[in-house]
């Protein structure tokens, strides 16, 4: 059990043992299926945990030069790189720091192919299989008019000279049966090109660490695909790596009654520190609370500390009334949360710490005025 009273607030707390358990499961999948599973920095960029990640995963994928540099520095490898639109003034450094480079469009490939083919980097093209079961359009790369990847009508019967890989990413926290249906759609459009490829990157969204996920089915799917097309298969899950590995610790700063609604204002912000809760949207779980209001129990609408009117989430019930100074612990806040924080309204970023396997807490980083100022000019 973690004693949250001795942890600063607000603070992201990674549980090292839970991260290791996820990595062991993921490593089991990649070993059994004969594939590569790599870390997606867009979902988890906590580089203080990369020494542990490196024990299990062979690499990482990046979508910007800054992420590439983080992969190089803290994973100790060149990056698998996919950037929707590449800046010309960054291209040479991207090549130098990458082992694989996926192009988003044929026009970008034509613009950069000579430099890319002379670099020794393995190049690929992102395709759009025009099939996705993602329910939220903001996270669906296959919506009509999507800028991510090329559809089959844009490419001929052969892969462009110099293209060795095919990349697709159409899942978001889905299971292996969704992947199976996605592969059917992919093969119906691109099977001939898959036979020409050396590697296929199936992107992220494979939530294999979620309870109930059928990893045996996933292994069977990936093994069959790899053997059918004689390709190296790469997965780059974002959420699965850090799924259920930590929390965001917050504290009640004030309690107000607003037209009959009890409101607890916290020292954190949904808009600045948990933007996915408003973007997806989803209602985060809170330890030792009821996810939905319970009649007769103390019930509160939780509000962030910024001036944004919509910076709130509600409603939750508790067994006992909240008091100023009480801790409110948001569960599963390590993936796709830390990477999206902002200093909107000048609020400090949450600290970052690790609950280590020896049952001690290590404070990794804190933020203050300089972090806010450095984002502005």
Spatial CA neighbour of 83 closest among 62, 114, 98: 62
| Cβ-proximal residues to 312 (8 Å cutoff; 6+ apart), any chain | 263, 270, 301, 302, 303, 304
Other beta carbons less than 10 A from residue 66's beta carbon: 12
Other beta carbons less than 10 A from residue 19's beta carbon: 25
Q: Is the pTM of this model over 0.85?
A: yes
The response to whether 331 counts as a known ligand-binding position is: no
Position 188 scores a pLDDT of 98
Report the distance separating Cα 109 and Cα 245, nearest Å. Answer: 38
Position 166 scores a pLDDT of 98
Position 306 scores a pLDDT of 97
The low-confidence residues of the chain, meaning pLDDT below 50, are none
Q: Tell me the sheet residues that pair with 331.
A: 247
Position 342 scores a pLDDT of 96
Spatial CA neighbour of 176 closest among 135, 220, 143, 118: 220
Class of domain 246-333+341-374: mainly beta
Residue 374 CB-density burial (10 A; 0-12 exposed, 13-18 middle, 19+ buried): exposed
For domain 34-241, the question of CATH label 3.30.565.10 is answered with no
Token pair belonging to 261: 């609604």
Tens digits of residue pLDDT in 166-188? 999 999 999 999 999 999 999 99
Report the distance separating Cα 125 and Cα 149, nearest Å. Answer: 8
Q: What ranges do the domains of the chain cover?
A: 34-241, 246-333+341-374
Position 83 scores a pLDDT of 98
Cβ(95)–Cβ(64) under 8 Å? no
Sheet hosting strand 36-37, strand order edge to edge:
36-37, 232-235, 199-201, 163-167, 122-126, 98-103, 79-82, 60-62, 39-40
Position 314 scores a pLDDT of 86
């Amino acid at each position: 059990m973690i004693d949250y009273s001795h942890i600063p607030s607000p603070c992201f707390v990674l549980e090292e043992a839970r991260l290791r358990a996820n990595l062991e499961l993921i490593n089991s999948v990649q070993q059994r299926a004969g594939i590569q599973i790599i870390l997606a920095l867009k979902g988890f960029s906590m580089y203080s945990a990369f020494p542990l990640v490196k024990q299990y995963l062979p690499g990482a994928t990046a979508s910007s030069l800054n992420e590439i540099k983080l992969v190089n520095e803290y994973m100790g490898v060149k990056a698998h790189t996919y950037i929707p639109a590449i800046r010309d003034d960054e291209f040479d450094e991207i090549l130098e720091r990458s082992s694989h480079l996926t192009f988003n469009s044929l026009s970008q490939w034509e613009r950069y192919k000579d430099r890319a083919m002379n670099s020794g980097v393995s190049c690929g093209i992102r395709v759009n299989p025009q099939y996705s079961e993602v329910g939220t359009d903001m996270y669906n790369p296959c919506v009509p008019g999507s800028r991510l990847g090329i559809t089959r009508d844009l490419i001929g019967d052969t892969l462009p000279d110099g293209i060795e890989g095919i990349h697709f990413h159409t899942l978001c926290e889905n299971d292996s049966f969704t992947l199976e249906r996605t592969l059917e759609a992919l093969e119906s459009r691109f099977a001939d090109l898959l036979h020409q490829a050396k590697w296929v990157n199936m992107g992220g969204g494979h939530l294999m660490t979620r309870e109930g996920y059928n990893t045996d089915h996933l292994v069977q799917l990936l093994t069959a695909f790899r053997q059918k097309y004689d390709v190296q298969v790469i997965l780059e899950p974002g959420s699965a790596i850090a799924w259920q590995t930590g929390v965001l610790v917050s504290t009640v700063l004030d309690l107000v009654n607003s037209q009959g609604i009890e409101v607890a204002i916290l020292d954190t912000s949904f808009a600045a520190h948990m933007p996915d809760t408003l973007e997806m949207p989803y209602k985060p779980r809170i330890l030792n609370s009821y996810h939905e209001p319970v009649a007769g129990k103390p019930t509160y609408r939780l509000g962030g500390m910024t001036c944004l009117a919509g910076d709130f989430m509600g409603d939750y019930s508790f067994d006992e009334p909240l008091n100023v100074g009480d801790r409110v612990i948001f569960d599963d806040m390590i993936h796709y949360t830390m990477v999206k924080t902002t200093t909107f309204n000048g609020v400090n970023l949450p600290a970052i710490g690790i609950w280590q396997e020896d049952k001690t807490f290590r404070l990794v980083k804190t933020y203050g005025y300089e972090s806010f100022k450095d984002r502005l000019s």
